[in-house]
């Protein structure tokens, strides 16, 4: 098949230059979501009653609906909600002048909160109860036990799922163009629209995502070996 190679090259550069946008979306969403996710995971593991039902409903909603629908929903809900909120506070904000990337952060954070809470819940749930008991017996408080004993172990066993979550989130951010964020997909789309070079443009985007995902997976692989040292040591002994 005949491809426009000079366009392919030129656009590849543009796409690669948009990689930071994708990474920023991903990293900010995960970091912003993490505390909430941890809270939800703990609620789902240890709480009963209304709070549990509330967070369960939230997780079910996020897991049960397409992310594109979440984007459309937030995109049509957030401006008026913000306006109402600002008015309530007596502020005058022009919500339509807001950088669209703000909406993207909101959507992907809200989405990640739920998915990450599931990862953390299963990781925390798989830590042997004896670990907590031993920590308490050793004189640690419950929060200390979580911080120094439980969470570090949970993080190790969560690594593969965290990697999956991150890769999926990176792929998910390809929909940020729906909110007019200038990420890889949007950049390519615009470049393609002048000369109808869509195939070349999307092949570039494909290459960009393969590159980003590969690097992220390598990093996780490395991190897993780093934080999981104690496991390796055990394997070598056994």
Partner 1 sequence: MRPFDPSFIWAVIPALLPFLSVTLAVVAGTLFFGSLLGGLLAAGQVSGGRMVRRLARAYIYLVRCTPPIVMLFIVFYGLPKFFMEVFSLDINAWDKIVYVWISFTLLFAAPISEVMRSSYLAVDHGQYEAAVSIGLSPRQAFLHIMLSQAAVVALPNFGNAVISLMKEGSLAYTIGLVDLIGKGQLIISVHYGARALETYLALTLIYLVLTLGVEQLFSFLEHRFSGLPPSDAVWHPVKPGGEV
CB of 197 to partner 1, least distance (A): 9
Nearer to partner 1, 103 or 146 (CB): 103
What part of residues 97-156 is at the interface with partner 1 (CB under 8 A)? none
CB of 219 to partner 1, least distance (A): 14
Told to check if 2 binds partner 1 by CB under 8 A, we report yes
Out of 103, 108, 146, 209, the residue judged to bind partner 1 by CB under 8 A: 209
Q: How far is 105 from 65, CA to CA, in rounded Å?
A: 18
The stretch near partner 1 (CB under 8 A) out of 87-95, 114-122, 146-154, 204-212 is 204-212
The stretch near partner 1 (CB under 8 A) out of 111-119, 153-161, 203-211, 222-230 is 203-211
Nearer to partner 1, 136 or 207 (CB): 207
Give me the 26-65 binding string for partner 1, x by CB under 8 A, dash otherwise. ----------------------------------xx-xxx
Q: If you write DSSP's letter for every residue of the chain in order, what string do you get?
A: ----HHHHHHHHHHHHHTHHHHHHHHHHHHHHHHHHHHHHHHHHHH--SHHHHHHHHHHHHHHHS-HHHHHHHHHHHHHHHHHHHHHHTT----GGGS-HHHHHHHHHHHHHHHHHHHHHHHHHHTS-HHHHHHHHHTT--HHHHIIIIIHHHHHHHHHHHHHHHHHHHHHHGGGGGGGT--SHHHHHHHHHHHHT-HHHHHHHHHHHHHHHHHHHHHHHHHHHHHHTHHHHHHHHH-
| Count of residues that interact with partner 1, criterion CB under 8 A | 34
Nearer to partner 1, 148 or 206 (CB): 206
Give me the 153-192 binding string for partner 1, x by CB under 8 A, dash otherwise. --------------x--xxx-xx---------x-------
What is the rounded (10 degree) CA torsion for 160, 61, 41, 118?
-10
- Mention every residue, 6+ apart, whose C-beta is less than 8 A from residue 168: 115
Give me the 61-100 binding string for partner 1, x by CB under 8 A, dash otherwise. x-xxxxxxx--xx--xx--x--------------------
Q: At what angle do helices 100-125 and 67-88 cross, to 10 degrees?
A: 110
Start-to-end C-alpha separation, the chain: 55
CB of 65 to partner 1, least distance (A): 5
* Residues of the shown chain interacting with partner 1 in the complex, contacts defined by CB under 8 A: 1-2, 60-61, 63-69, 72-73, 76-77, 80, 167, 170-172, 174-175, 185, 198-199, 202-203, 205-206, 209-210, 212-214
């Amino acid at each position: 098949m005949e491809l426009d190679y000079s366009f392919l090259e030129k656009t590849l550069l543009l796409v690669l230059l948009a990689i930071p946008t994708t990474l920023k979306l991903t990293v900010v969403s995960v970091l912003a979501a993490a505390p909430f996710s941890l809270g939800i995971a703990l609620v789902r593991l240890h709480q009963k009653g209304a709070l549990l039902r509330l967070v369960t409903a939230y997780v079910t909603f996020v897991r049960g609906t397409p992310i594109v629908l979440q984007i459309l929903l937030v995109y049509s809900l957030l401006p008026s909600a913000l306006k109402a909120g600002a008015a309530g506070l007596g502020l005058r904000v022009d919500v339509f002048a807001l950088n669209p990337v703000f909406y993207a952060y909101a959507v992907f954070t809200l989405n990640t909160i739920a998915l990450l809470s599931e990862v953390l819940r299963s990781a925390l749930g798989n830590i042997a109860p004896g670990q907590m008991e031993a920590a308490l017996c050793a004189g640690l408080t419950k929060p200390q036990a979580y911080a120094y004993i439980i969470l570090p172990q949970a993080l190790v066993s969560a690594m593969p799922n965290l990697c999956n979550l991150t890769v999926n989130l990176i792929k998910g951010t390809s929909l940020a163009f729906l909110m007019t964020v200038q990420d890889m997909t949007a950049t390519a789309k615009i470049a393609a629209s002048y000369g109808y070079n869509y195939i070349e443009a999307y092949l570039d985007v494909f290459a960009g995502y393969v590159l980003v995902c590969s690097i992220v997976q390598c990093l996780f692989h490395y991190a897993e070996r780093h934080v999981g040292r104690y496991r390796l040591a055990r394997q070598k002994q056994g």
